[in-house]
Structures are given as structure tokens and as C-alpha cells.
Amino acid sequence: MTRDFPAGLESLYEALEFVRHAAIEAGLDPRDAQGLELALEEILVNVCNYAYEPGQEGLMRIRVGAEEGRVVVEVEDWGREFTPPRGGPAAHEATCVDEAPIGGLGVFLAGQMLDELTYRREEQRNIVRMTMRTPSCGAV
């Protein structure tokens, strides 16, 4: 299933809803779907805030599918080349509130929730690919 959304935060809930339904339909456990939603929010917010110039109207295309025991979600945009964030200090490594940086957790959490998180640049598009395994032995 593929859908296009305007690349703005006003699309966020609709896009999350679309992916949640499509992923569960593709076999994802509803609890895992929450983790996927969390990861997806981080990726979509990044696209909405940074892919296009301020004031420029842009699209994000979301594709959800099933592939050999996993659900695959791809987010595409036609904006500026995405620079994967460099690993800096993150709150999860801090030991007290004063030291903890305020940001830097989004991509870390996305990576924790997913089985795979990759980025590629193809024909002027940024493509972020996320996968999560689906239960293969039926309900237990």
C-alpha cells in the first residue's frame, strides 16, 4: 500500500494511522505496531522539518508492504539530501539530569524499536527503510 502526504506536521496523525493499519494488516503484532509508530514519528518529523525549504510545499510518500516474515515501511521525499545524524552524546548515556542533552533521542529510539533502519539516496530522493519481523508461528 502506498500513500502520499503533504510533508507537514499536520499530516502526522493521518500518516501514523495509515501505517498502523497497513502494518497490522500485513501481519504485525499490535504491540509491535506501537513501536513502529514511535520510530515512524521520528522519521516523519525529520522529513517535515528538514527535507524541504521553509515555505516550500513537499511530499512524503509512504509505502507499507510485507516481505519474507517482515513488515517493511519506506518513507520517501524529494527534498535536500538527508544527513544521517552523527552519534553525539545522548540522554540515554547521561547519568544525571544536568548533564543530559535535551535532544538526540529520536533516531536512537527508532533504531531500538526496529529490526532494520537504513537510508539511501536514489534519483534525488531520500528513502528511509524500516523493517520489523512479524510472528511466523501463528498466535501463541
Residues that bind another protein (CB under 8 A): 9, 12-13, 31, 34-35, 37-38, 41-42, 45, 91-98, 100, 102-103, 105-106, 108-109, 112
Return d(Cα 45, Cα 73) in angstroms, integer: 15
Residues 6+ apart with CB under 8 A from 24: 30, 33
Of the pair 42, 76, the CB lying nearest another protein is at 42
Residues 6+ apart with CB under 8 A from 26: 64, 65, 66, 71, 134
Of the pair 31, 86, the CB lying nearest another protein is at 31
Q: Are 133 and 69 in contact (CB under 8 A)?
A: yes
Of the pair 13, 119, the CB lying nearest another protein is at 13
Q: Kindly state the smallest distance separating residue 133's Cβ from another protein, in Å.
A: 17
What secondary structure letter does DSSP report for 29? -
Q: Kindly state the smallest distance separating residue 100's Cβ from another protein, in Å.
A: 6
Q: Kindly state the smallest distance separating residue 122's Cβ from another protein, in Å.
A: 27
